[in-house]
Amino acid sequence: PFAIWDNKSYQNEISQLLEKDVVTFKADIANSDPGKSAIKFNKIGIHFRTLDPSLQNDLEKKLDFFEIIIMHLGNSYYR
């Protein structure tokens, strides 16, 4: 993945997202592969993962009722 927003660093934002609030997550090019000057993508997705793998199926069933709209901000950055 190009970017990972873990619960430890983004707990408030993830909680807001699950409470149906509008949140902004940014992927910083400075934290990406140093051998690449830019990242091109045409698909984006979100995967929530539990710390306890035995709870993963339960989480996925609960998230089936959520609809998340993802929008590109239109900003592009290059090294």
Per-residue pLDDT of 11-40, as tens digits, reads 999 999 999 999 999 887 777 788 877 777
Percent of the chain with pLDDT over 90: 47
Higher-confidence residue: 72 or 10? 10
Give residue 78's pLDDT: 67
Block residue for tokens 């590109």: 72
pLDDT at 1 over 80: no
Give residue 71's pLDDT: 85
Instruction: Say which residues have a Cβ less than 8 Å from residue 32's Cβ, sequence separation at least 6.
Output: 2, 3, 39
What are the distances in angstroms from CA 40 to CA 6, 46, 62, 64, 76? Answer: 22, 17, 32, 28, 10
Domain ranges of the chain: 7-63
Give residue 32's pLDDT: 78
